[in-house]
Amino acid sequence: MCLAIPACVTEKLDESRVRVSLGGIEQEVSTILLDSVDIGDYLIVHVGFALG
């Protein structure tokens, strides 16, 4: 089974990477599949990629 977890963007690292909070745990994820992301947005994260 695959898990996609909602996460809140806490920091923009560069054009294609952000730091998100997953239940208090910080993780870097790729945003290469998205048009734009802002701090405070919620994303669905799956295997290190933000899906939306």
pLDDT at 26 (0 to 100): 96
Tokens of 49: 């990629």
Tokens of 5: 């977890």
pLDDT at 2 (0 to 100): 74
Residue 32's contacts (CB-CB under 8 Å, 6 or more residues apart) are 16, 49
Longest Cα–Cα distance in the chain: 31
Domains and CATH numbers, the chain: 5-50 (2.30.30.140)
DSSP code for 16:
T
Q: What Rg do the C-alpha atoms of the chain give, in angstroms?
A: 10
**pLDDT tens for residues 1-52?**
677 889 999 999 999 999 999 888 999 999 999 999 999 999 999 889 998 7
